[in-house]
Structure 1
């Protein structure tokens, strides 16, 4: 009876998410007035200077650039972040469609997954429209990742648990960066701020779905499978955070960026390592709740430098977070 109740509760949660997608959904061409004066992209606008939440902003190289060059770098960087975002959404859509075609009739997962795919298609249109209007030659992910992405999507039908872990690993860093920029009252260009608002609102449902899916499907997992997933969780987080947040080779060549600056920005300095840790308090909390972060797997979180405190509730701001109790 308890198991039947749990299944019913899970299906009720999925129906609630589906109803949310029906009742509150946003369209990139109806909810963004792209042609209004406020939304015009000015390549000399100082609001394109990177906020403190971006790893590049803390480098000596970026801080010492003249303002016009900081704006140039910021415009290219934001365009590339958007391009990476839409490429990740495309991987998610392809993988989700591979997986849902294996589901039985009457599956509540089928319906909500298709709602999510619909929303992700809108996000791709939104991000690509931004990239087009920014008129920057941003390629997005690295050439290797772009080439490998179809194979990654194909595996979703066979390894759905790993796939949903990967969804979280891609969505959490983007969500964190966007929320940090909004919360810090950074003087963002209006078009960027509006896109963040739309994306944050809908990604909340997608992240919630990934949490619920992992929680439900782990109930039947045996000890060996749990250990494997417990090890996969931090590896996926660290790997995909780097894929999502790092810059492609074209960035270094375009702006003649010193390798030292890239190392400082992307996870070799204490400041950038802390930024990496700050991406994942919600995932660490989920790992604790699911028993995937335990004495047999915590060493890997520390080795990958993504250990740290957990959040008390979804998206708890860093400044509100309690430090771990000292024994």
Structure 2
């Protein structure tokens, strides 16, 4: 019998035990959105798609002049924009995970969990796409240049940077989704169901990424640690720019440039961003990866 020796990088026993626990959790509670969501259920009239106080124009002079229908439509468009960004990010994360697996043992529990996460993320992309289709709007899709950037970032996310990138995407969205669920009584049932499924499964992904960072951070060189602690600040302008994209306001018949200006200066919206970033900021401080440059970037874009 020929014995094939694996040249893949071995995984620490503690990481394997942690991955096994997450695998068991996934086996007990995972979702199949195609069948676990009633896609044919009606969308009740008059219900928002996001809580009004979380919308980018809430509390601005322009908000006070908007009709109820325009406010509802803004919530629909911002919901579609939000989960469109989720599709981009999860596409990028899956590309990065697949590349990383080429350097991992195909028989480790960590690889098994990464494959489970890949499956989760693929179903989330399908769920988000079907949700956008169901609410009846066009997705907010990247330009050709933007798509190239997403693919380029997937190439950069390796080792500890992969887990930092995963958290910057997952934790911020997770915190915002939990705010949506907390204010869910007046929100569309479809939105609540999509958010509930995503929060449940992303909780395991966040635990896996946090464990990866805690495991690796002590082994990093000073130079690598300095780079990692500041590079994640690049996500601040990316998020802020896309959360307040002009197309949101053009679609509902507002003066896009003026609406964007008011949204970006809106203290109510800044408070929503800070609440969304707070858990991630606390974790990055805990592991010593909130560098001064990154802190300035996040603060400049109103996440701090």
Structure 1-normalised TM-score?
0.80
1:92 is aligned to 93
- Size of the alignment, in residue pairs? 291
Higher relative contact order (CA 8 A, sep 6+): 2
Cα 1:147–1:250, aligned 2, differ >3 Å: closer, same or farther? Answer: farther
Cα offset, 1:208, TM superposition = 1.0
Counterpart-to-counterpart distance in 2, 1:278 and 1:164: 21
Structure 1: runs of 5 or more not aligned: 1-5, 309-327
Counterpart-to-counterpart distance in 2, 1:122 and 1:257: 36
1:114 corresponds to 2:106: no
Q: Does structure 1 conserve the Cα–Cα contact (< 8 Å) formed by 2:167 and 2:209?
A: yes
| Deviation sequence 1:260-286 (CA, Å, 0-9, x none) | 3313323x3433333322222222222
| Deviation sequence 1:127-158 (CA, Å, 0-9, x none) | 111111122123244664233212222333xx
Cα offset, 1:227, TM superposition = 1.3
What secondary structure does 2:261 align onto?
helix
What secondary structure does 1:138 align onto?
coil
Counterpart-to-counterpart distance in 1, 2:17 and 2:244: 38
Q: Does structure 2 conserve the Cα–Cα contact (< 8 Å) formed by 1:54 and 1:177?
A: no
1:66 is aligned to 67
Cα 1:7–1:229, aligned 2, differ >3 Å: closer, same or farther? Answer: same
Cα offset, 1:25, TM superposition = 0.7
Counterpart-to-counterpart distance in 2, 1:225 and 1:283: 20
1:301 corresponds to 2:301: no
Cα 1:139–1:166, aligned 2, differ >3 Å: closer, same or farther? Answer: same
Q: Does structure 2 conserve the Cα–Cα contact (< 8 Å) formed by 1:76 and 1:136?
A: yes
Counterpart-to-counterpart distance in 2, 1:220 and 1:134: 47
Q: Does structure 2 conserve the Cα–Cα contact (< 8 Å) formed by 1:58 and 1:265?
A: no
Cα offset, 1:80, TM superposition = 2.3
Cα offset, 1:244, TM superposition = 5.5
1:261 corresponds to 2:255: no
Q: Does structure 1 conserve the Cα–Cα contact (< 8 Å) formed by 2:178 and 2:199?
A: yes
Structure 2-normalised TM-score?
0.85
RMSD of the TM alignment (CA)?
A: 2.4
